[in-house]
Chains A and B, each alone.
Chain A
Amino acid sequence: MAAVSDAPPQDVTVLGPVAGPLLLIAPGLMDDRHVWHVDWLSGSVQTTTDGVAIKGAPPPTVAERLTIARTGRTRTAKPVWQSRNVDAIAWTKLEALAARTYVPDTDASRLSGAGPADTDKD
Chain B
Amino acid sequence: MIPLRSPDEVMRLSRLGASHQTRLSFMRTLLRGLRRGLWKIDRPLWQIDANGVGRAVYRARGDGQCYSLVAFGHDLPDHLRSDRVIAEAWDATFALVDGEVTNADLDRLAANVPLQEAGRVSDRELVLSRANRSVRLWDHVVARLSNGRQPDAERVDNIGYLMRTTAVYGSGKFGAADHAALRGRPLFDGPFRAEMLAVWLIRSFAADLVEHLAERHGGKKAARLSRDLRRRLGVGNSTGLGMAPFLVNHPGLLNAWIMARETALARVRSLPVSDEASRTGFAKALGCMHVHLSSWHTTHPIQLSKLTDLRADIERISRRLEAGILQGPTPWNALWHWAKSALTTEGQEMLVSIMIEPHGTLVDDLVDTMGADEMASFKIDGLIPLTELKSLLEKRYAWTRTIDFAAQEACARFWYVSEAKLEPRLGERHLEPGAALEQPLDIARSVSALALDLSATPNTATIAAFLERHPKHRRIIRRIQMSRHAPYGEIRDNLIAADLLPIDMLRCKLAFFGATRFDPRSDRWLRITMYQNAPYPDELHAMLDDDWILSQSQKTNECLL
Give A contacts to B, CB under 8 Å: 1, 3-7, 27, 30, 79-82, 84, 99, 101-106, 108-110, 113-117, 119-122
Contacts and interface: CB of A to CB of B under 8 A. Distances in A.
A20 B378 CA distance: 23
A116 B299 CA distance: 14
Given A5-B467, A109-B432, A122 B379 contact: no
B181 A121 contact: no
A108 B432 contact: yes
A5 B132 CA distance: 48
A113 B423 contact: yes
Given A84-B123, A114-B240, A120-B84, A103 B383 contact: no
B382 A1 contact: yes
A3 B527 CA distance: 46
Nearest to A102: B419
A79 B418 CA distance: 32
B82 A121 contact: yes
18 contacts: A1-B464, A5-B381, A5-B382, A6-B379, A30-B379, A79-B180, A80-B180, A81-B123, A103-B416, A104-B434, A108-B432, A109-B418, A110-B420, A114-B240, A119-B522, A120-B83, A120-B525, A122-B164
Q: Which 7 pairs, one residue from A and one from B, show the smallest C-beta to C-beta distance?
A: A5-B382, A113-B425, A81-B178, A103-B434, A6-B379, A105-B420, A102-B419
SS class, residues of chain B in contact with chain A: loop
B42 to A, nearest CB: 28
A27 B379 contact: yes
Contact of A114 (B172, B474, B525): B525
Interface residues of B, number: 57
Contacts of A103: 416-419, 425, 427, 433-434, 437
B165 interface: no
SS class, residues of chain A in contact with chain B: loop
Interface of B: 81-86, 122-123, 132, 134-136, 159, 164, 172, 175, 177-178, 180-181, 238, 240-241, 375, 378-383, 416-420, 422-427, 432-434, 437, 439, 463-464, 467-468, 471, 474, 521-522, 524-525, 527
A101 to B, nearest CB: 6
Contacts of A7: 379-383, 464
A3 B439 CA distance: 24
A7 B241 CA distance: 35
A117 B382 CA distance: 47
B419 A99 contact: yes
Contacts of A117: 82, 84
A109 B434 contact: yes
A110 B86 contact: yes
B524 A104 contact: no
Contacts of A108: 432
A90 to B, nearest CB: 15
A7 to B, nearest CB: 5
A120 B164 CA distance: 11
Residue among A1, A4, A105 with max Cβ neighbours from chain B (10 Å): A4
